[in-house]
Amino acid sequence: MSELIEISQRALSSIELGNNFATSETIDKIIKVFNITAEDLFATDYLKESTELLNMINNNISKIGNNPEKLEIIYNLTKSLSRK
């Protein structure tokens, strides 16, 4: 993801860990790279039951199909989230 939004891995990690805030430029790049809106990025309507969220995530992944670029992004995101 850091390559896609053109920031260092260290800078991204610092944002993810809550040690630093993303700049408006970085937020704009995230919005463009993932083709989402600012409302999508900051939405809180995702606060749903775990089973519902898991179904929604699986549904979204199934829509991606065999797109290697998007699958790699998902893999990297889930890998980073699974670290303790």
**Per the structure block, which two tokens stand in for 44?**
């809180």
pTM for this prediction: 0.52
Give the model's pLDDT for residue 28.
93
Question: Both 39 and 49 in a single domain?
Answer: no
Question: Both 50 and 15 in a single domain?
Answer: no
Question: Both 51 and 83 in a single domain?
Answer: yes
Give the model's pLDDT for residue 49.
85
Q: Which domain holds residue 8?
A: 1-43
Contact 7, 26 (CB under 8 A): yes
Q: Give the contacts of 64 (CB within 8 A, at least 6 positions apart).
A: 70, 71, 74
Question: Both 7 and 28 in a single domain?
Answer: yes
CA atoms within 13 A on the CB side of 16: 16
Environment class of 5 (CB within 10 Å of its CB; exposed 0-12, middle 13-18, buried 19+) = buried
Per-residue pLDDT of the chain (84 residues; tens, 9 = 90+): 899 999 999 999 999 888 899 999 999 999 999 999 988 888 776 577 889 889 988 998 999 888 999 899 888 888 888 876
**Number of separate domains in the chain:** 2
Phi, psi for 71 (deg, rounded to 5): -65, -35
